[in-house]
Amino acid sequence: MREIIKMVVVLTVLSAFSGGLLAAIRGETKVKIEDQQLKFVKGPAINKILEGCSNDPIADRFKIKDGDIERSFFVGVFDGKANRFAFEGTGKGFGGDIGLMVGVNIDNDQIVGMGVTTHSETPGIGSKAKTDPKFSDQFKGLAAIEPCKVKPDGGGIDAISGATVTSRGVCVGVTNAANIYKRLKPQIAEKLKEFK
């Protein structure tokens, strides 16, 4: 009996100590990890979308509460005006979720650029959504308040050959982003005024 109690006590104390230590370290590194992810995963896409801006979009970011989720917006200052920003959207692709960044110009509601950040599409086929500029450049200049579709679905986007599902997923992601934009536009406009 004494042995069993000892086993239970030792394991419990050990696990509790371990849990406490990990929670403390996680708390310490949380902000840093978020920064690193922004820099290496989303950073390249953000910088490409907001190419030519005079500030650092990753440093100049703000968050808006959208229901239960907090969404991050990355501000790009052009000619002294903070009128463009990039934010995240997700769609379902062939191999799982596709994460992408969409840049919008709030003055004319136009998409200024789109870049895929994370995906698990087939390398060499669906993965072109991330690497082929011919595909991603098609989104430039589209209206950010309308749903976006590939040509077979009656839209204006040329799908990547052999990867219609992926292309459709990207379009859904952009449409989702557009819906977020429509919903949060007043708050975004308010926040953008702080960046001059």
Partner 1 sequence: MAKSITQEFTKGLWDEIPPFRLVLGLCPTLAVTKSVENGLGMGVAVIFVLVCSNMLVSLLRNIIPPKVRIACFIVIIATFVIVVELLMQAYTYPLFLKLGIFIPLIVVNCVVLGRAEAFAYKNGIVRSIVDGFGIGAGFTISLVAIGALREVFGSGTFFGIPVFGPSFQPFTFMIEAPGAFVCLGLMLSLMNLAGNE
- CA atoms of 40 and 141, how far apart (whole Å): 27
Between 36 and 54, CB nearer to partner 1: 36
CB of 2 to partner 1, least distance (A): 10
The binder of partner 1 chosen from 18, 54, 108, 179 (CB under 8 A)? 18
Q: Does 96 bind partner 1 (CB under 8 A)?
A: no
Nearest distance in Å: CB 162, partner 1: 25
- Using CB under 8 A, which of the segments 1-9, 78-86, 130-138, 146-154 binds partner 1? 1-9
Give 144: exposed, middle or buried? Use CB within 10 Å, 0-12, 13-18, 19+.
Answer: buried
**Long-range contacts made by residues 119-122, C-beta under 8 angstroms, separation at least 24?**
119/93, 119/95, 119/166, 120/93, 120/95, 120/96, 121/93, 121/94, 121/95, 121/163, 121/166, 122/94, 122/95, 122/163, 122/166
User: Is residue 23 part of the contact set for partner 1 (CB under 8 A)?
Assistant: no
Encoded one letter per residue, x for contact with partner 1 by CB under 8 A and - for no contact, window 36-75 reads xx-xx-----------------------------------
Which position among 1, 26, 75, 165 is part of the footprint of partner 1 (CB under 8 A)?
26
C-alpha pair distances (Å), 4 with each of 9, 17, 59, 92: 9, 20, 55, 51
1 contacts partner 1 (rule: CB under 8 A): no
Contact footprint for partner 1 (CB under 8 A) = 3, 6-7, 10-11, 14-15, 18, 21-22, 25-26, 29, 32-33, 36-37, 39-40
